[in-house]
């Protein structure tokens, strides 16, 4: 199905996963609202790449932790596009703003995580639905493993925020089903050119080696382009019967058993 003449907004699309999603949709002639928080240069670079792919769009700045700025964001979307067919909730604060163990976390760090995820999604959907035609697509980028486990201690705030976000996906899916608007979450695990690249070099090496040795059965980490491909699939008419789901797009990493060494799990390969 052609997505030509559709309009999309992807929050946090100046870089990383959001950029990968924007460029994939742009290749299918979707007009793109490129959202950024601080890096206007990166946002304009993304828009330039959107145009190279034969599409167009605009750049918009907003702090999604502030409800009033989210409202202003969607007012601009309405002025520029008139409607919105696809909304992808992807924006996330930089690691230092929330990355703290639960025994050390401040209320400010907790609020940053919740405000930019569950609260931002709640306000955004309330803003987007009045300008979204029937059959629209709403997607969120989550990290489902982090919202269900407790081992990565500094992820406590963001893991809790993502868990609340995933819960809202289910409630909105039911609320919007009569209009044929689907609401789903995509969980991509570790992705190159995203939060991974903000970790210390030693941590990056450990994660890459762990996954290439077999924790991801496909033998590599994902890319922003991989996530863009999944979003593109869910924006098609053929995906109109899928809603309220958390989709693992992780090369099989979520299928592995954390209690068994990968060398044993993959011994028959």
- Residue 133 DSSP one-character state: P
Answer whether residue 8 shows pLDDT above 90: yes
Nearest to 234 by CA among 223, 245, 225: 245
Q: Note the pLDDT tens digit of each residue in 81-138.
A: 999 999 999 999 998 999 999 999 999 999 999 999 999 999 999 999 999 999 999 9
C-beta of residue 70 within 8 angstroms of C-beta of residue 120? yes
Q: Note the pLDDT tens digit of each residue in 17-51.
A: 999 999 999 999 999 999 999 999 999 999 999 99
Q: Note the pLDDT tens digit of each residue in 126-176.
A: 999 999 999 999 999 999 988 889 988 999 999 999 999 999 999 999 999
CATH number attached to the domain at 7-252+259-265: 3.40.50.720
pLDDT of residue 268: 64
| Two tokens, residue 25 | 């949709």
pLDDT of residue 145: 87
pLDDT of residue 197: 77
CA dist 135 and 215 (Å) reads 37
Q: What is the DSSP string of 201-260?
A: HHHHHHHHHHIIIIISTTSS-B-HHHHHHHHHHHTSGGGTT--S-EEE-STTGGGS-TTS
pLDDT of residue 205: 86
What's the CA dihedral at 10, 77, 134, 227 to 10 degrees? -10
Backbone angles phi, psi at 17, to 5 degrees: -60, -45
């Amino acid at each position: 199905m052609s997505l030509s003449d559709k309009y999309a907004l992807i929050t946090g699309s100046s870089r990383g996963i959001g950029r990968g999603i924007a460029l994939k949709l742009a290749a299918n002639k979707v007009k793109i609202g490129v959202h950024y928080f601080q890096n206007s240069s990166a946002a304009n670079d993304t828009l330039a790449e959107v145009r190279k792919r034969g599409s167009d769009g605009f750049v918009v700045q907003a702090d999604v932790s502030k409800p009033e700025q989210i409202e202003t964001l969607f007012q601009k979307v309405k002025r520029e596009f008139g409607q919105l067919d696809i909304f992808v909730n992807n924006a996330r604060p930089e690691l230092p703003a929330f990355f703290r163990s639960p025994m050390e976390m401040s209320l400010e760090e907790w609020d940053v995580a919740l405000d930019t995820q569950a609260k931002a999604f709640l306000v955004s959907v309330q803003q987007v639905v009045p300008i979204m035609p029937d059959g629209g697509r709403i997607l969120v980028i989550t990290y489902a493993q982090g919202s269900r486990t407790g081992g990565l201690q500094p992820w406590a705030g963001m893991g809790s925020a993502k868990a609340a976000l995933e819960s809202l996906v289910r409630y909105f899916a039911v609320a919007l089903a009569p209009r044929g608007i689907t609401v789903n979450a995509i969980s991509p695990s570790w992705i190159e050119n995203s939060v991974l690249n903000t970790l210390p070099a030693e941590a990056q090496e450990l994660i890459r080696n762990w996954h290439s040795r077999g924790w991801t059965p496909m033998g590599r980490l994902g890319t922003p382009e991989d996530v863009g491909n999944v979003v593109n699939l869910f924006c098609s008419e053929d995906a109109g019967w899928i809603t309220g789901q958390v989709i693992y797009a992780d090369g099989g990493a979520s299928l592995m058993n954390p209690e068994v060494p990968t060398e044993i799990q993959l011994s028959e390969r």
